[in-house]
Structures are given as C-alpha cells and as structure tokens.
Chains A and B, each alone.
Chain A
C-alpha cells in the first residue's frame, strides 16, 4: 500500500479535525452523558438528583420485563434480517434477468426504502388493523379466524417484523443487485460449460463472490433492527399487546419519554450499546473469516 507523507506535521491533524469533532460532539459526548445519567436517580425536571451507583442496572436486571424485551429484540432482529436478506437477494436475482421494462422494474423494487418508517407503519395499519384494516375485513369473508394482533402477541410481532423488513428491503436489493451485476459473466459461463446447474453456480460462485456484501448487509440490518426500527413499532403496536413487541430501543424511549425515568432509560441505552458493540465485534471476529474479499 502506498503511504502518503505530509510535509507539514500539523496539516493531517487539521484535515481530520472536522471528522473527529463530529464524532466527539454527536457520538462520544451523548454516549458519555448516558453513562453518567445511568448512575443517577433524577426527578423529571432535574431539580433533584442523587447518585445511586449501579442501582438502575440492578433494578433492570432483576425485572422479568427487561429480559422479555431482550428476547423480543433478538426475535425481532433475526426475523427482520432473515426476511430482509432473503427477500432482498431473491428480488435482486430476479432483477438481473433479461426482461422487458427492466429499468422501470429495478426502480420500482427500490421504492419502499424511500418511505419513512412511521409512514410505512401507518400504511401497514390501514392494511392490517383489526378495526379498520382491509385485510381482516376480507379475511372475515373466507374464514372465521379472528386476526386480532391487538391481543395476540405473536401476530403483532410477525406484523412489525414484516413491516420493518419491508421498509428496509429496498436497501438490501440495491446492494445485492450491484453485487450480482459485478460478477463477471465469463466465470458463470465457464461454470455452465463445465456442467454446473443453477444451484451449483449459486453455491460455488455467486454466493462466495457476494459474501462481502452479504456480510456488510448482515451487520447493517442487525444494527438497523436494533436501533432504526423505532418508527414502525411506535406507529403500529406501541410495544403491545402486553409488551409482546416491546424491543429494547422502544423500552428506552418509553421509560425515558413517557415514564420520565431518565436514570433507567440511560442505563438501558448503555446496556443496548454494549450489546450492539459486542454483537458487531463477534461478527467481525467469526463471520468475517468466511468472507472472501476478492
């Protein structure tokens, strides 16, 4: 690798300063502030503050609801990531076929990503809401099944997973599509000549060549489901019924902004931060080993 050498010793530091400033102000400072807040018990208006040490953490780790929200988060994140990657790869593969109106089709599959999560949530409400949704209304004609996710927790979970995966699938498609188009056709043709069928070609050539992108998307999708999924849950289930779709990031919001319990909310965001850092580190440690960078 070529090394650039600056004559002026101060210049490189000046050049990276803006980036460091942004990181410090918008990442390190809030993270540090959360860490500090998590050790205090504060009245909502901040007039009474007392240091409580790890009490906020102790309380969280002894309530079953917190473990429930961790479990919900893992179910949710794996659901969103599996569906998002699976459907994304499938649609991207279809979009590489030679069909008429390819450009229009390729544009259309990216659209959902342009819709803000809360709006997507509202759209899903109009389709699936037990009181005024279109789908339960139609279902009523063919079956007596009561499609009521206002009371059935697992249906609610399936719904928010579906809605979140849908909002994010366009992003996955874009990356998979770019990856698929970058695979040299000559390699695939050579494989065909050697008698490899479609499945074999996918397993031995396409999938390994796509692995850097798949790995990147895996990390991004997981982080997205941990943090960015707030909008959909807020619009659709508000964590209900009975806490069945209360994922960690939503609980942070609920306890902090509705419950005005800033200490607990800060402690939860610290735990969430630790969890995501650990997960990402694990992925880089173990999954990345199997990734083939060309």
Chain B
C-alpha cells in the first residue's frame, strides 16, 4: 500500500515537471536529412543559427541515413499519418515527390505565408530541375554538378601544361602520355557513373536523354541513351578500360580513392567533394569542366545533382509559418554564401554569387567556379534536367549494364539497349502506378 502511494506521488511529481515545459516549449519543426559526417555537422550549425533567431519555432534536424533511406522513412511516416515537416530528397526522387500528392509546394507555401521571395534570383538550371509549370516545388538545398579533377604533379611528370583536358580526345591523349611517363597507373576514373557519364554528358552535348523533353511533358517517357551518341561515348570508355586509360572504380564515390592515392591522374566527380579534397589531398590539383566531344555536338550546360527540401502535407496550419521562416532563412544570401564556402555545394542565387565575386572568392578559389561556369547559359529542352519516375531504380539498371560493357561481356550497343529496355519497363510501371 505504502509503495503504491509513493508511486502515485512520484508520477504526480513527474507530471508537474513535464507539463509546464511542454506548454512553454517552442513549436518543433522536424527536418529529416541524409547529410552524414562533416556535412551533418554543417547542417546542425545552420539550424542552430536559425533557432537562435527564433522565438516561437525550433527546427529539429535528424539524420535518417542515406538518401534512399530518408525517402523511404518519410514515405512510411506519411503512410502512418505522422510525417516530418521537411524532408531532404535527392534529385532522382523529384518525380516521385511531385506526383506523390503528399507535398506542399514551396511556391504556394511562401505565397500563403506572405513571404516575398524573388524566385528570379535563383539560377536557372537549379529552378528548372525542381519546377513545374514555372513554379518551384521544393527548396534547393545542396546542389552540385560533376567536374573534372586532375593531378597537377602527374601532368607535370608527363610534360603536359598545367591545364585540364577540354575534350575527350585530350583526355585520351593526356592519359596515354601520363601512363607512359609513369605519372599514374591509369588516366582517369569516374564516380557516380550514370550521373556523370550519361545524365550529365547528354545535356552537356545537348543530346536528349529521354522522350517527352526528358520526361518533363508526360509520363509515357522512354529512354534515348542507346542512340549514336551514347554508343559512341560508352564504347570509347569501354575501349579505354581495356587500354588502362580508363579505370572503372565502382558506383557512388567508391572510385575516389583511385584519384586520392595517385593511381589515376584524373577523376570526374561532383563539385561537392572540393571541400574534402582541399583538406585531404597530398598533391597539387586543379579542376576543369566536364570534357566535351567537340563538333558536331553543341556545347550546352550540365545539370545539377544533389537534393532539395520538400514540405510535407498534413501538418498543423500554425507550423507552416515556422517552416516558411526556415525556408526563407536558408535562401538568404548570407546563408547561401556560408553554406557554399563551408561545403563546396553551389550558391544558388544570383545575389549570393555576386557577393562572392565581389569578395574575389572565385578568383582566389578558381576550382569553386568550375561547376557554376558549366551551369550558365539558357537550358534547352535537353538540358533543363531529368524528370523520370523511379529514377533511382533506373540509375541502378543503367549502372549494372555499364558494368557489363566495361567488363567486356556486352558491346556498348548491347549494354545500352538492355539498359533502355529495363529503364522503359520501370518507367511504364511508374506511369501505371500513377494513373490518375
């Protein structure tokens, strides 16, 4: 009996402690993201700066794992009617989010909350990727584009000028010279193979990646990567793989060590690794734009990769005020500049870029300009981006077939044909699942 009295008293005391704080607490805004390690700490710092400026709202960031894990986590939470307010979704998840019926478009949110945002100040390749009918649906957060990194010491050893190769022909010739001179074991390697070698190489040459303007104008989309251009490019890579000019090093960032340890003289990888390379590389290095095949192909622009922040439907109306405040905060020039300088991701408003130029940032750090430079220009229907359903699975299918080609099991044409067949199946399935 005595014990029970004590337990009840304890519970009452606990309630007394818990209740008032709960009543006084700021409204929590949940942000799920996929930024691990150093990047995760940078996100926390950004959020901290925001929270200190707020009286009513507190953003709670949570690293939910890799990009696919964050997306599946958010989907599960949404289906249980308890989604976070904000979710970071990678580029290839864009179409899935757009058609999900689970989101609150950012342009609409800002309009409702009467927060004026100059959307024209955002750079076009970024807004183009994430807009529908000219309206931005998610807030660009971490954007990057693939560039070429080169080992200056290996170039010097081969008697080459301190200049990155501009064309693929140069890439081949430079590589052979470097290998012959003992500057490196292989000429170059590529991270994120589908993203760098197809998804970006096609728009960079103004070549269509898929029908329906790369999927922008309809769901009955088919891949176009097995045409003459794709076969030429992948075929050349396969031939170089045999010669040792090219060395396939796996998916995602797995090939990076080949460049870091000096095995390969060049690497094609996201501009987002600049921050890491500045700290860790033990040799002099430089950057250049994606190599180009030259005429008859036009030189267009690269497309962005990375992720954006999506606002989920079904939150309390009052919470959206805090969400909008946070979105406004991260789009401000000061935060844009800080985020770019700290991480290597791109600043995405003209104002932020102008401010950085005024401080001679790009003169002092030319490697930070490379990615921005290849995004300039007015995008065409081929280069505004890709809008493909279940793109993550398509990418997976494409990379599997690239591996078959580089292993010599299939010719470039056979591999790309198979990739297109699989990709089209996935697109068909996606279209069927999203029939209105």
Check A257–B72 contact: CB distance below 8 A: yes
CA distance A129 to B400 in the complex (A): 18
> Which of A42, A130, A152, A261 is the one whose CB lies under 8 Å from B249?
A130
List the A side residues contacting B45 at CB < 8 Å: none
Q: Is B273 an interface residue (CB 8 A)?
A: no
List chain A residues, Cβ under 8 A from B75. 44-46, 260
B389-415 vs A: 1/0 string, CB under 8 Å?
Answer: 010110010011101101101000000
Interface string of A42-57 (1 = CB under 8 A from B): 1111111010000000
Is A151 within 8 A of B254, CB to CB? Answer: no
A282 to chain B, nearest CB (A): 32
Q: Which residues of A contact B407 (CB under 8 A)?
A: 151-153, 241-242
Contact A47 B403 (CB under 8 A): no
> Is the C-beta of B350 less than 8 angstroms from some C-beta in chain A?
no
B245 contacts the other chain (CB 8 A): no
How many residue-residue contacts, CB under 8 A, span A and B? Answer: 103
Interface presence of A139 (CB below 8 A) = no
Contact yes or no, B393 A131, CB < 8 A: no
Q: How many A residues touch the partner, as a band?
A: 20 to 34
Chain A residue numbers with a CB within 8 Å of B72 are: 257, 260
Name the residue on A nearest B263 (C-beta): A131
Contacts of B79 in A (CB 8 A): 45-46
B80 to chain A, nearest CB (A): 10
Chain B residue numbers with a CB within 8 Å of A241 are: 400, 403-404, 407
Distance from A20 Cβ to chain B, minimum over Cβ atoms (Å): 26
A255-B426 Cα distance, complex, nearest whole Å: 10
User: Chain A contacts of B258 at CB under 8 A?
Assistant: 131
A129 to B257, CA, bound (A): 10
Mask, B415-436, CB within 8 Å of A = 1, is 0000000100110010011110
What residues on B are CB-neighbors of A202 within 8 Å? Answer: none
**Does B100 reach chain A (CB closer than 8 Å)?**
yes
On chain B, the residues within 8 Å of A168 by CB distance are none
Residues of chain A in range 128-184 having any CB-CB distance to chain B below 8 Å = 129-132, 148, 150-153
CB distance from A238 to the nearest CB of B (A): 7
Q: For A152, give the chain B residue with the smallest CB separation.
A: B407
Instruction: Give the docked Cα–Cα distance between A67 and B262 (Å).
Output: 41
- Which chain A residues lie closer than 8 Å to B96 at the CB level? 44, 260
Q: Which residues on B sit within 8 Å (CB–CB) of A46?
A: 75, 78-79
Docked pose: A241 CA to B426 CA in angstroms? 20
B184 to nearest A CB, angstroms?
13
- The answer to whether residues A151 and B248 also contact, given A240-B403, A241-B403 and a CB cut-off of 8 A, is yes
Instruction: Tell me whether A240 and B400 are in contact (CB under 8 A).
Output: yes
CA of A27 to CA of B80, assembled, Å: 20
Instruction: Give Cα A45 to B74, complex, Å.
Output: 9
Q: Is the CB of A261 within 8 A of B393?
A: yes
B189-219 CB contact bits vs A (8 Å, 1 = yes)? 0000000000000000000000000000000
- CB neighbours (8 Å) of B433 from chain A are 41-44, 48, 261
The answer to the question of A258 belonging to the interface, with a C-beta cut-off of 8 Å to chain B, is: yes
User: How far apart are A223's CB and chain B's nearest CB, in angstroms?
Assistant: 26
- Looking at the complex, which one of A47, A152, A254, A261 makes contact with B100 (CB distance below 8 Å)? A47
B102 at the A interface (CB under 8 A): yes
Which residues of B approach A to under 8 Å, CB–CB? 68-69, 71-72, 75, 78-79, 96, 99-102, 248-251, 254-258, 261, 263, 390, 392-393, 396, 399-401, 403-404, 406-407, 409, 422, 425-426, 429, 432-435
Sampled A-B contacts (27; CB under 8 Å): A41-B432, A43-B434, A44-B96, A50-B435, A129-B257, A130-B249, A130-B250, A131-B249, A131-B257, A131-B258, A132-B261, A150-B249, A150-B403, A151-B403, A151-B407, A238-B251, A241-B403, A241-B404, A242-B409, A258-B393, A258-B396, A259-B390, A259-B396, A259-B426, A260-B72, A260-B390, A261-B433
Task: Please list the residues of chain A having a beta carbon within 8 angstroms of any beta carbon in chain B.
Answer: 41-48, 50, 63, 65, 129-132, 148, 150-153, 238, 240-243, 254-255, 257-261, 264
* 4 closest A-B pairs by CB: A259-B393, A241-B403, A151-B407, A242-B404
